[in-house]
Amino acid sequence: MRYESHFKGKNVASIYNHPKGFLSAPSGENFQILEMENEDYELICGYDEFWILEAKGVFDKEVVEEIRSETRTLYQYSLNYKGDINDVYSEFLIKFISDEIL
């Protein structure tokens, strides 16, 4: 259990390991950073990628759920493409983050 008050004023990061056989790119669950007041970074270590998510402050639950829903949709959409699912999903996710979230 995390105690948010212990981390106030600090640059807190979580690290997640996505081993081979799983997506390297963040899933919707990795966007829990948007719900944590004092967590500034989430690092996702995939078998061939390294992702750093950065967010400051807490976002509305509706916004967080919308992002999670969109990541699930992007994953499902990626299944329709030929090639490595990880590469396709990663490209879609990068575009979504650049175009919609930032």
Residue 90 lies in a domain: yes
Domain count along the chain: 1
Establish if 4 belongs to a structural domain. no
Q: Which are the contacts of 2, defined by CB distance < 8 A and separation ≥ 6? A: 36
Residue 93, domain extent: 10-101
pLDDT at residue 68, rounded to an integer: 94
Question: Is 72 contained in some domain?
Answer: yes
In a domain, 2, yes or no: no
pLDDT at 1 over 60: no
Q: Are strands 50-54 and 39-46 parallel, antiparallel or unpaired?
A: antiparallel
| Residue 6 predicted with pLDDT over 70 | no
Cβ-count burial 20-33 (b if 16+ within 10 Å, e if not): eeebbbbbbebbeb
Name the CA dihedral angle for 17, 20, 22, 25, rounded to a multiple of 10 degrees: 60
pLDDT at 76: 94
